[in-house]
A and B are shown apart, each in its own frame.
Chain A
Amino acid sequence: MRAGRRAAVFVLVAMLATPCLLRAVDSGDLFRPRRFQVDSVPGGAEVFVIGGRVGRTPLTLSERDIYPNWYPDEQAHLYGVIVLRKAGCAEFSRNVDLDDIAVGIEARLDCGQDEVADAQVPVSDPAPASAPVADAGMTPAAAATLQRRLRQLKVLQELMEDGLVTEQEERTIRKRILDAP
């Protein structure tokens, strides 16, 4: 019986020690699935995956949101697919691949001329209306892009002030806005 007890202790210690050690050697993002960013221009588009609506852009998804281990057969066509919908814009659909997961997705929604015109109208801050750079010989399209970025940055600032995005998320999104062509 003593040998049996020692074997039991051995097994117990081994089973407890292994996960703890493995956890120690790879401390960091334990239990956190791989995540990637989804954004759109214009923002605020509803995002759908195989499991249904998951929020509005900008947002962060995990791989398992688009690659669930189980799904109903009738939803199979949506496996690995992300769909963005916004009123007045054409639906955006994409099969997500490794590159998308690595760098994130920024969807440019086809919203026609209405969206461009809308983007040129300042939301709350009259300053961009003067559009000094537009006066300096910019094309109307470039001016519209600039106005949209200013508006997005302002909304982002408000979201952070309201605590709806973290500083890190704000930095990531800001960089994406500024880096966008």
Chain B
Amino acid sequence: MRRIPSLSLSLTRFLLALLAVLASGLQSAQAMPDFARKYNLSCAACHAAYPRLNKFGEHFLDNNMKLPNWKEGTVSGGDDMLALPAKPSLAVRAQAYVQARDGKSIDPVTGAALDASTDFQSPYLVKLLSSAPLSEHLTYYFYAILAEKGVNGEAIVEDAWFRHDDVFGSGIGMQLGQFQLSDLMFPRETRMTFQDFMAYRMAGITYDRGVLFDRGVGLLDLAVGLVNGNGIEQNFNINSPGYRRPDKMFDNDSSKTVFGRVGTDIGPVSAGLFGLAGEQKNAIGIAGQDSGIRDTDKRIIGLDLSGNIAGNIYWYGQVLWNSWDDFLVQGRDYEWYGGFAGVDYIPSDRWAFSALYNYADANDLANTDTIYEGIDINSLTLTASYYFMRNVKGIGEVNVDFLSEDRQSGTYYTGHLSKEHYFLIGFDAAF
């Protein structure tokens, strides 16, 4: 086990004191996100504790993020074909952290390691969000992140979509744009922990571009979607060979990834079955870091369960079984599984406590001397959130890594070469 730096305790005291000083300036902050502003409602109407949604918040989301009085405050000028928001919708989410950690940045080729056992991660991100109903059935939502995770000089658009909640009067909802496939289960944006739902990232079911249809049928909630399957960062010039045309391709092949979920409530438990079938490029190059040109099959089966106890305890669990055929070596199939489980306890308007357990086993990807050996995690995250205001919280979080440290083997520096304990404190605000 890697030794915790001897300065950790005194450093922790320093950081906590710093937090105290900074916090004192935030207590009087008056801030509310845009939905609360539009409808003149408290954040408490939709959030059990920001950003976790309560039952009404879920209902608001299902109702295309609008309330029946959405037209109040819009500008029409007497034109019944116009309901222009009186002001452009805009909200901000900002996060800043200070972290002490064991994890390193290790070059898989040379083994050179960058080690920052203490780290000021501020701003962690600045997110600009906008959403509003545009008609009785059409809503838009998007956000852009500035300087996400220290990548300054860059803005990235993640969620960006239109949603019509009653296509051709069929009762079917249709969402077109960029979104996370995993939002069908547990939206990462509304998690209470800094630590991510790692299985979603490892399985590659976060952001993609496509279309999603959904409808309630009796006791079932059905959703089926198609996405390009190559994420949200690629684009390719279209040309008459040697002469560029103005348009671009967003996808890198003609195949599409199909996915869906069937959900229902079984007593107090919400359960869902997720499935995905698509293609991904094979991994090639040094330690499998590069993307090849061969299309390989990718399949996922997922099971999610969640529930609420006494209105202030939320529990959830997710398992994903993954099959990546021919991914590294043609003719060989790779299977691995992962998941997470967590609980959020919200005893008051001021406090929330969360626990998140992440687990993944690289299984067939283990000992391949590629970066995909990194699909291995076994960690417990504990988080305390203190709400200075409904929309401003301070968090303290500790992550305990139960995996043992691997010895380097093979040609490259891959696998679990450093422990991933961390402790962080910081702020998370939306206004």
What residues make up the interface of A, taking CB atoms closer than 8 Å to B?
Answer: 3-4, 6-7, 10-11, 13-15, 17-19, 21-26, 30-34, 63-64, 67-71, 76, 79-80, 97-99, 101
A25 to B393, CA, bound (A): 12
**A-binding segment of B105-113, B157-165, B380-388:** B380-388
Residues of A within 8 A of B394 (CB): 22
A14 to B55, CA, bound (A): 33
Evaluate whether A63 and B44 lie within 8 angstroms (CB atoms) in the complex, with A15-B398, A26-B23, A69-B311 already known. Answer: yes
Task: Provide 9 A-B residue pairs closer than 8 Å at the C-beta atoms, listed in order of the A residue.
Answer: A3-B1, A15-B398, A22-B386, A63-B44, A63-B349, A64-B349, A67-B54, A98-B41, A101-B42
A99 to B312, CA, bound (A): 26
Say yes or no: is B71 at the interface (Cβ < 8 Å to chain A).
no
Count of chain A to chain B residue pairs whose CB atoms are closer than 8 Å in the complex = 117
Q: Out of B12, B349, B351, which one reaches A34, CB within 8 Å?
A: B349
Say yes or no: is B287 at the interface (Cβ < 8 Å to chain A).
no
Closest Cβ–Cβ distance, residue B345 to chain A (whole Å): 12
A143 to B25, CA, bound (A): 51
Residues of B within 8 A of A70 (CB): 54-55, 308, 311
The 8 A CB mask of B221-234 against A (1 = contact, 0 = none) is 00000000000000
A79 to B312, CA, bound (A): 17
Q: Out of A25, A63, A64, which one reaches B24, CB within 8 Å?
A: A25
Indicate if the CB atoms of A19 and B351 lie closer than 8 Å: yes
A101 to B295, CA, bound (A): 58
Indicate if the CB atoms of B44 and A64 lie closer than 8 Å: yes
The residue in chain A whose Cβ has the minimal distance to the Cβ of B56 is A79
| Interface-central residue, A4, A22, A31, by most chain B CB under 10 Å | A22
Indicate if the CB atoms of A67 and B23 lie closer than 8 Å: no
The residue in chain B whose Cβ has the minimal distance to the Cβ of A63 is B44
The 8 A CB mask of B297-322 against A (1 = contact, 0 = none) is 00000000000100110000000000
Residues of A within 8 A of B382 (CB): 15
Indicate if the CB atoms of B59 and A76 lie closer than 8 Å: yes
Q: Out of B23, B40, B44, B311, which one reaches A22, CB within 8 Å?
A: B23
Q: Out of A19, A24, A69, which one reaches B384, CB within 8 Å?
A: A19
Indicate if the CB atoms of B20 and A25 lie closer than 8 Å: yes
Residues of A within 8 A of B239 (CB): none
**A-binding segment of B2-10, B332-340, B371-379:** B2-10
Top 4 nearest A-B pairs by Cβ distance? A18-B396, A22-B386, A69-B54, A70-B311
The 8 A CB mask of B337-374 against A (1 = contact, 0 = none) is 00000000011111100000000000000000000000
Say yes or no: is B104 at the interface (Cβ < 8 Å to chain A).
no
Say whether chain B's binding surface is mostly helix, strand, loop, or mixed: mixed
Interface size on B, residues (CB 8 A): 47
Say yes or no: is B423 at the interface (Cβ < 8 Å to chain A).
yes
Say yes or no: is B27 at the interface (Cβ < 8 Å to chain A).
yes
Evaluate whether A99 and B40 lie within 8 angstroms (CB atoms) in the complex, with A11-B400, A67-B56 already known. Answer: yes
Indicate if the CB atoms of A7 and B349 lie closer than 8 Å: no
Residues of B within 8 A of A17 (CB): 12-13, 16, 396
Say yes or no: is B191 at the interface (Cβ < 8 Å to chain A).
no
Indicate if the CB atoms of A98 and B348 lie closer than 8 Å: no
Closest Cβ–Cβ distance, residue B185 to chain A (whole Å): 20
The 8 A CB mask of B32-45 against A (1 = contact, 0 = none) is 00001001111011
Indicate if the CB atoms of A13 and B45 lie closer than 8 Å: no
Residues of A within 8 A of B346 (CB): 69
Indicate if the CB atoms of A31 and B351 lie closer than 8 Å: yes
Say yes or no: is B147 at the interface (Cβ < 8 Å to chain A).
no
Evaluate whether A11 and B348 lie within 8 angstroms (CB atoms) in the complex, with A3-B1, A24-B20 already known. Answer: no
Closest Cβ–Cβ distance, residue B312 to chain A (whole Å): 6
Indicate if the CB atoms of B4 and A19 lie closer than 8 Å: no
Q: Out of A6, A67, A68, A80, which one reaches B4, CB within 8 Å?
A: A6
Residues of B within 8 A of A19 (CB): 351, 384, 386, 396
Q: Out of B12, B48, B59, B350, which one reaches A13, CB within 8 Å?
A: B12
